[in-house]
Amino acid sequence: MATENSLVQPAIPRFNGHYDHWSMLMENFLRSNKEYWNLVETGIPAAAGTDLTEAHKKTIDDLKMKDLKAKNHLFQAIDRSILETILNKDTAKNIWDSLKQKYQGTSRVKRAQLQALHKEFEMLHMKVGESVNDYFGRNLIIANKMRIHEE
């Protein structure tokens, strides 16, 4: 029986082919619920030299364990066909960067997408019988897509 103080773990966002949406959900999940985002973003710092203190070794071991847990969450978020393409990636950062490169596209693709969004925004007009709220919603959808592409 659950108590009032028990916490329900949120579900890991599943990748459904819409990378931009999934990456925002997954980033939020790793930031807020698991505190693993820093490892995904920056990776595990390289150990300088062999004369590490015990405290430094413990810190690196703790980071490696968190990295394994972050990788586990990423593995659970993707299906088998995608998993097979990233099996050689050894850290959560490498997995994230690989997925980003594959599904977000190159800078040329991003520029083409932005140009299409600009044209769509410029051509946007209110339809006959359309409410202001619906028109404004369509504007926001395009603006949010542009923001996703760092515009």
The predicted-structure confidence for 79-125, as pLDDT tens digits, reads as follows 888 888 888 888 999 999 988 888 876 667 777 888 999 999 999 99
| 18 phi/psi in degrees, rounded to 5 | -95, 85
Residue 9, classed as helix, strand or coil, is coil
Whether this model's pTM surpasses 0.85:
no
The predicted-structure confidence for 107-118, as pLDDT tens digits, reads as follows 677 778 889 999
pLDDT at position 1, please? 46
Q: Residue 39's closest CA among 58, 72, 66?
A: 66
Q: How far apart are CA 125 and CA 137, in angstroms?
A: 12
Q: How far apart are CA 96 and CA 44, in angstroms?
A: 14
Q: Residue 18's closest CA among 105, 116, 89?
A: 105
